[in-house]
Each structure stands twice: as C-alpha cells, then as structure tokens.
Chain A
Amino acid sequence: MSHYFFTSNKYLVAILLFTLVTICSTAITIGEFKAINSIAWVDIIGEGGMMLMIFTWIVFTLISRPAGRVTTWLFTGLLLTEISMLLDFLDEFIHYAAHNSWFTTVESFPAAIGMVLMTFALYQLHFEQQTINTQLRRTERYYREHSLTDFVTQLYSAQYMKQQLKYELNHVKAHHSTFSLIMLDVRKFNDFNQRFGYAQGDFLLGEIAKLLLMNIRDGDLACRYASDRFIVLLPNTTANVARVISGHIEQAVAHLAYKSGDSSTAIYPKISSCVNQYQGQQSYQEILAQLNHKMSVVKYESTAARSDVTCTNVPVSN
C-alpha cells in the first residue's frame, strides 16, 4: 500500500531529490569547507537532527497520502522548511566568501513561506477529513483507533464494539433510554469457503459488510464480530424497529448475486439474524454471550430443519 502511494507521488519525490541535490552542490561549489577545529559539533547535532526530522515528515507524507491538492500543499510547505534547515546545517561546515554571503542571508525565508503554506494545507486537510468522516459514518463513533479495524471487511472488530457497548451502557443507564443489537450470521459460510476458496470467502464477507452499511441508519454502528458473524449497535432503538432493519439487511443480502472471480455464475448468500433490546442492567459480556446463544439457537433451528429434508439422521445401536 505504501509503495502504491510512493509511485503515485513520484513527481514530488523527483522534485524533493532535485532540490536537495541542487542546494548541496551549489553550497559546495560557491563556498569552501571550514577547518575541522572551527566546527561547532553541538550545532551540527541540533540542526542536523531537525533537518532529518523534517525529511522524515516529508517521506511519511509521501507514502501515506494519495496524490492530490492537499498533498501538494503539505509537500511544498514541508519542502520549503526543509530547505531552510538544510542551508542552516550546511553553514556549519561551509564558509562563503563575501560576494556569496547572500546564500546565508536568505536561509530563513523559505521556512517562513513554508510555515504559511503548511498552515493553509492543514486548513484544507480539515475539510478533507470532514468529507472522509461522512464516508466513515456507520462504521465509527466518537473514537478512532486504527489498530482495531478488521483486515478482511474494513469494519471495526469485536474489540471496538465492546468499547462502544461499555460506553452505550453507561449512556443508557444515565438517560434511562434503550438500545438494540442485531447479530447477523452468514449461512453455510464454511461450505462456501470449501467450494470457492478462502480468499473468495474473505471477499464475500467484504461485500456483505458493504451491504450491511448501506442498510443501516446514520448513528448506528456495524462491526465484524468474529468469522462470519456481524453485529450492529442501534442506539435509542426498540427491538421492533431493529427487527425491521435486520429484515431489510436480510433482504438486501438475499438479492446479492455474488460473482466468484471472473465467473458469471451468481451465488446467492443467505444470512440469519437475531435481535435483542437492552436497558443497561447487564454487563456487556453477558449481553454478548446472551446474543450469541440466541444466534446459535436460530442457526441450529434453521439448519436442523433443512437437514431433516435432505438426510434423516437416525440413531442406530452400537
């Protein structure tokens, strides 16, 4: 991923290298090296360190952001600051003749302009982040922690849901309100994996996660619970409303004609769901255990009912 952004910013990388090389070579051509004993090592450590830090910031900006306007602004601001730092650093080694002393007097200008540009860039970044936040609604509430996202579906994981449940339970107790949880389970997911491969299984979960997000309201939170099981938190919602919404999700998934790779054959995945409403008397562990138990019962009933049709399991004597 970082490699991808690096190549998409390859012009900026070229500009960065070109600028740094030009400045270093100009300084070396027009100046002359100082004697070893007149070099202030403390200054070199301090200024060299700052220069390196800003260089690292530029690298992180380039590898973590896609190409675009805000990236260019951020890059320009950082680059100008870096130029000042570099000039300052080179001063420590190199002495300029009187007619070339303009080279040191200009050294603080780029940083000043750079700071202004970065401020502007961060202002733009704020608007960009607001747009991204609206894209993230239904998958995130109040708190961001990238280490809790699930690799396969890009939803948050069960750990995040537990944090939010704790928060919601406190909220519900304080305001005497209520909330509901929907649990969803993809039916026969293991069979799907065995037939189409585990990579396809992961893709299917990703598609179902997207459908799930489309069918819940703003303010709801969807997370991947574990394996083929999802969980949705619906604040201020009664079980009846939650049941309607889970019905919508079930219908949406039932109409998903999933294509495995290049094949045009459609696979219609099915999900089971269960709903519970809570007032905040139980702990989040109890709530989750109870909901999972309910889910197992729902699943057991649906599969046992079907296996009665396809195959009768009769006990035989030893």
Chain B
Amino acid sequence: MKSYFEQNDKVLSSHHMLLSLVDIAKQRGVLPDVLLKGSKIFYSDLLREPLKISSEQLQKVVLNSIKLLPQGDVAFLLGRRLFPSHLGNTGNALMNCRHLADMVRVIQTQQIPLFPLLFMTIKRHKQQHFFAFNQSLTTLDTRYYHFLCEVLASALVCAIKWRLGYLPKLCFTFPYAEPDYIEQYQVNLGSDISFLNSVTQQPLQISIKSDDLYLRFCDHNQSLKRHYLNLNSSLLPCNQKAQAVGLIQYILHFIDKNNSATLEQVASSLLISTATLKRKISAHQSSYQQIIDQYKQQQAMFDITTLGLNNDKVANKLKFSDTTNFRRSFKRWTGMTPNELRQCYITNKGLTD
C-alpha cells in the first residue's frame, strides 16, 4: 500500500464533494451528464455504488461547473453542504467536540476523510492562532485551486457558526487576486477578507483569537466522539498505520520533520528511486527545489510579517549559512528584499491592495 497519492490516483470518495456538486447543478437546471462530461464518470454509476475518483477527474467536473454556472456561488454552496452530513463518521465526531480547539485536533488527525486536497499547519502568536492551508497536490489549474479554497473556507465558517451559534471574528487571506464575484466572499465568509496577489506560493491563511478556540459548545459528548473516530480508524486496511496523503503534502511534511532533507532521503522514505520521484514531481509541474523554496518562503514570510523577526534570526531558523545568502534567496522568491517587505507592512499594512 502506497503512503502517498497523485493526481490520477482514485482515492477521493465521490459522496464527499461530487454528489453535492451534481445536486447543486441539477437544482440550477444543468443535467448531471453535462456536468460530468469529459471526467469519465457517469451519473448512473454515481448512483449505483460509492465510487472513488481522482483529483484529475474532480478537477474536470469543477471546471465544467465553473463554465456552466459562472455566478461564482457554487463553491460556497458546496462548502455549506459539506458539514456535517457529507463527512460521515468524521462529521459525527466533529459534532461531538467540546470546543473549536477540540475540532482542530480532530481535523488534524482526520485530514484525509475530511479534505484530502488541502492540508493544515498551525502557528500561534500573541493570543492569535494562524491556520495555513497548502495544497497536497499541485493543482494544474488555478481556477480549481481557488474553488477548493472557497469550498474549504465556506465549510469552516458553516461548521463554526453551527457549533458556536454565531461567527467569531475570523481573518482570511487568500493567496490570489480578488475575483469578480467578491460579493460571494463577503456574504459567505464575513467582512475580514484580504487577497494577496503580489507574492505567489503563499498558503490560504485563516486566523482567529486563541480564546475563541476554547469557547465551550452547548452540547458535546467525548465518548461518542471517540466512538466515531474509532469507526474511522477501523476502516483502514490492517497493514497500514495511516492513510495515504498527497505527494506534495508528503514531501512538505518530510522537509518539515527532517531539516535540510535531500531528494534522495525523500525518495528512500517513499520506497521509490530518485529518478521516479523526480519524474513524479515534474508531473506536478514542480521540482524538488521549488517545493523546498515554497516551504522556506512561507516560513520566512510568516516570521517577518507576523512574528516580526529580524533577518539573522530567520536565516538561522531556516538553516541558511549566512544572512546575505538568505536575503538573496528571499529576493528571488518574492521579488523584494526582507526589508522592502517590512516597509510594505509598516506603510500600508500589508501587501493587499
């Protein structure tokens, strides 16, 4: 059993997003087979048995839906429907959590059944939690990536509203330019939304006051929560400790755990040759160096803009041999030096326009 999946591996459950997408399109007057055109999925098969689909197939359907229903609300509607009924046991487990922090723990362990295509990393600073979401596979079409971000954000807002009864202050930073249908973001996600279009390779970031994470919900049940989580882990094949994650996610995790990991080390942990790994990464239109750069760039951006660290400390943290080297790399990643970036944040409060 592989410990990773790629674009064309059929690992995603069809009921997770596809069925709702078909349903929404049907409600808007689009025939299911028109929506599924070109994805090699047939509506009759979807109804017959639970299917597994690949990210590639989902991308085709999502792009079809964007073309057929261009108002931009589909992703948000989909996100609203996701929680909790389409999430199976994990949804039930989430419904029995004590508070948001408890839900975050479940989300971390249950990423694959919940949202296999984006994964979360958490940082804390000054009574504020920062959740960063990166792609577990590099999606080749940006519209598909935006769609996934919208679904995730809308599902999170819906879940928080449902469990807490109201929406606490959340700040969203989307790593792309403001879309035409900004009204969908405003209405579905609240008013604290910014778009980061001058620097690429950043994650979708959501921040919340740390105190809000520990507001206790009216109803919760720890034993039920454990029960549903046990049901989930009993579904795993017995020879496997954890579920497969996206290839890029696997590599980013590996880099995070083993500082200055080489391509050879990653390949050997995946039980494949370096040449094969290289080929697989380039099929994602990326390279190992790009993945490492993305990792370091994100760390550096956060350390500089949010933590306010100086160049020496950041360079040291990221294991650069000296600060000049770090400054040069940073300029290559973002098009500006660390000091120019700091100036940006001092003068106009960020890179958003």
Contact = CB atoms under 8 A, between A and B. Distances in A.
Given A159-B180, A293-B191, A296-B190, A227 B73 contact: yes
Contacts of B191: 289, 292-293, 296
Given A313-B215, A316-B214, A228 B187 contact: yes
B167 interface: yes
Contacts of A313: 164-165, 215-217
Nearest to B26: A199
The B interface is mostly helix, strand or loop, or mixed, namely helix
Contact of B187 (A150, A157, A226, A311): A226
Contact of A315 (B165, B184, B211): B211
B214 A315 contact: yes
Contact of B215 (A151, A303, A315): A315
A154 to B, nearest CB: 13
B285 interface: no
B27 A198 contact: yes
A315 B101 CA distance: 12
A316 B216 contact: yes
Highest count of chain A CB atoms <10 Å: which of B80, B180, B187, B216: B187
Given A157-B71, A314-B216, A202 B166 contact: no
Given A198-B27, A228-B187, A293-B191, A314 B165 contact: no
A229 B165 contact: no
Interface in A293-318: 293, 296, 300, 303-304, 307, 310-311, 313-318
25 contacts: A151-B71, A158-B183, A190-B158, A225-B187, A226-B73, A226-B76, A226-B181, A226-B188, A227-B73, A285-B182, A288-B183, A289-B191, A292-B183, A292-B186, A292-B191, A296-B191, A300-B167, A303-B167, A311-B218, A313-B164, A314-B216, A315-B214, A315-B216, A316-B216, A317-B214
Interface of B: 23-24, 27-29, 71, 73, 76-77, 80-81, 99, 101, 158, 161-162, 164-167, 180-184, 186-188, 190-191, 211, 214-218
Interface of A: 150-151, 157-159, 185, 190, 193, 198-199, 202, 225-229, 285, 288-289, 292-293, 296, 300, 303-304, 307, 310-311, 313-318
